[in-house]
Structure 1
Amino acid sequence: MEQLNVKPTLNEDVCEVSCVNLDTITHLQTVIQEDEILGMVDIFKALADPTRMKIAFMLDQAHELCVCDVAAVLGSSMATTSHHLRTLKTMNIASSRKEGKNVIYSLKDDHIRTLIQMTLEHQREKIDDEYK
């Protein structure tokens, strides 16, 4: 493991003595793909909206919901609900199918479901830690 030493700094948020692990840096520079990172950022951006996160959570819980049901839970108009659902679909977070005159939405795949469940678990742990 080759390391490169740099001058020390005084700050609690940084290492007191900076050293760089060149093997690790080289590895990370080869595995980080900018287009993949930007795609992940887009997923988090889409879910950063509270209404869209509520919808994703509802889809995780119910597995499938028609636009009418989502609008009713949100207390929102069909147009606003459809806009949010369309955004989730465009971002590959949700998928839809037509069933008669209704459009049924679900989460795109188990990866999204896992992301939502793990984020919720992390949030609940954070809240539990605050009350200890």
Structure 2
Amino acid sequence: MITTLSAQEERLIHALQLLGDKTRFRIFKLLASGHDMCVSEIAEDLGISVSAVSQHFRNFEMLGLVSKERMGQRICYELKSDDAFVQELAKLTKEG
């Protein structure tokens, strides 16, 4: 019987919980399309507020799924391309 989970299994559980939210799933899928996007672009694409998008990205950042870059007053995000775990999640969202 397995009593403890590995760090990778814990991360997977948290990522699946995170992506279980439809809005966060849609944001992740937009980023999985292969290019970085700014918060305002995502808000416009999804028809939600900039502050709501920013809040969702805090969750992505806590799990280490995204990296961000400030471009003037804009904050843009992309999936971490050097993280195999993130790339596997992105691959799954593209297949669906």
Under a length normalisation based on structure 2, what TM-score does the superposition of the two structures give?
0.82
Matches within 5 A, 1:35-114: 35-36=6-7, 37-109=9-81, 111=84, 112-114=86-88
CA distance in 1, matches of 2:55, 2:80: 17
Q: Secondary structure at the residue paired with 2:33?
A: helix
Aligned residues of 1:46 and 1:91 also touching (Cα < 8 A): no
Q: Which amino acid aligns with 1:113?
A: Q
Structure number with the bigger relative contact order (C-alpha 8 A, sep ≥ 6) is 2
Q: Distance in 1 between matches of 2:70 and 2:34?
A: 17
RMSD: 2.0
Measure the CA separation in 1 of the matches of 2:70 and 2:80: 15
TM-fit CA distance, 1:62: 4.4
CA distance in 1, matches of 2:74, 2:93: 30
Distance 2:87 2:35 in 1: 10
Give TM-score scaled by structure 1 length. Answer: 0.62
Deviations for 1:19-64, whole angstroms, at most 9, x for unmatched residues?
xxxxxx8xxx6xx962422222111111111111110110111410
Percent of matched pairs sharing the same residue? 27
Report the alpha carbon displacement of residue 99 of structure 1 after superposing the two structures with TM: 1.1
Cα 1:119/1:72, change in 2 over 3 Å: closer
Aligned residue type for 1:69: E
Structure 1: give runs of 5+ residues left out of the alignment: 1-24, 124-132
Cα distance between partner residues in 2 of 1:51 and 1:113: 19
